[in-house]
Copies of this chain bind each other. A is one copy, B any other.
Amino acid sequence: MDRARLQPVRLALLGCGTVGEGVVRLLRSSAAMLEQKLGAPLLLAGVADRSLKPNPAIGLERTMITRDAAALVARDDIDIVVELFGGLEPARGLILQALRTGKDVVTANKALLAEHGAEIFGAAAVAGRAVGLEASVGGGIPIMRTLREALAGDRQRAVYGIVNGTCNSILSTMTERGTEFADALAEAQRSGLAEADPTLDIDGHDAAHKLCLLATLAFGVSLKPRQVHTEGIRRVTLADIAYARELGYAVKLLAIAKDDAGQIEARVHPTMIHTRHLLAGVGGAFNAIYVNSEALGASMYYGRGAGMMPTATAVLADILEIARHRLAASRSGAPPLGYPFAMVMPARVKPMDDVLCEYYLRFTARDKPGVLGTIASVLGRHQISIASVIQQERGVETTVPVIMRTHQARERNLRRALAAISRHKMVERAPAFIRIEEEL
């Protein structure tokens, strides 16, 4: 394995925000180690960024920075383009330009890969180039290479991800300190954990993008964000979290994909899981992906899902792997999606109506005799049977919460039953429900 010192592998960085700065720092602080491992230096040849601000502390000179990303990508001396702009354009065009001109690409852009993955991986396959995507899901957690390589000889049955640190952090704050959702969100915004416009995170869209990539790597199918049933955490209340605990559950925003005999179930929503489950112990901004495989059984991968340095380590891992291939002038690694691109077919998605779940239900009912019986009989008419009930003592209030846990039921039936119960005058406000993953 000893080899003569080779020519440097030259990198172009598109975007020098948080993660970009982390990559520059790591390239600098680990330079000697990276060169030892690779047998050649990794060289930052140029940076494209709107702000032309140099950063001498990390060795980023003004002369290295340009606003013209396309010109940087076009340069002959670039080997690997590291795309950290995020968003759809110009990232998409620049990645395609890079692949068509013989560069390899590393990206953390889950939104782009989820929406335009077919185009990008197709272009990479045609060009015989690599697309490193480790940083796009789970920050520094090596879930992409694990699914692509470590679990490659096995069949994945289900993937359960805590993949949005903002949501997990807010739910942790609500659970541990009894803070209301709005206050927990405001706190997350103040600490920089949530964006000023938190929609992408809070409403589950970011998790849905990541789920598309997880499902592609796990099952070898392509999946679009609009095919993922997506619900966010806005409707989770402190009351729900307290009742969940009473029933032995924690509430997490899970991104769930299952392969049911070739039909793919794909959903993002608040989920109750057993408090003793390992995923329930994943607190704060941490992420974890729990995978159920045919031969291996359960496995879990845990770590920091965002942030400057954690995400930069994932980018570096991809750079290193691709640099090895370039130095060997050979592509003998696994294709980016595990399967050859031509074999990745669109997912056959199970309609949400057909999904089977257990449910936690909370009704706000007028405190009158017979209300429990009425609710139970509507549920029964829709083939939903009740596993347990919590009914509070009658007090001075004119309404009481009625809490139920159901046995497994079909989503369509649940939806219809809740609509029927909502119309009932005994029930005030729309019933609240949270799905339970009992098998997890």
Contacts and interface: CB of A to CB of B under 8 A. Distances in A.
A184 to B, nearest CB: 20
Contact of A145 (B1, B149, B314): B149
Contacts of A22: 295
Chain A: number of interface residues, binned into ranges: 35 or more
B140 A145 contact: no
Contacts of A319: 153
A154 B30 contact: yes
Contacts of A310: 295-297
A107 interface: no
A27 to B, nearest CB: 8
A39 B303 contact: no
Interface stretch (A249-257, A325-333, A402-410): A325-333
Given A295-B310, A338-B37, A149 B2 contact: no
A338 B317 CA distance: 12
B152 A37 contact: yes
A155 B29 CA distance: 10
B334 A332 contact: no
Interface in A269-303: 276, 278, 281-282, 286, 293, 295-303
19 contacts: A2-B125, A30-B153, A37-B339, A140-B295, A149-B321, A150-B313, A151-B317, A153-B313, A153-B319, A153-B320, A154-B316, A276-B281, A300-B302, A301-B302, A321-B334, A324-B333, A330-B330, A332-B332, A332-B333
Interface of A: 1-3, 22, 26, 30, 33-34, 36-37, 39, 125, 128, 134, 140-142, 145-146, 149-155, 276, 278, 281-282, 286, 293, 295-304, 309-310, 312-317, 319-321, 324-325, 327-335, 338-343
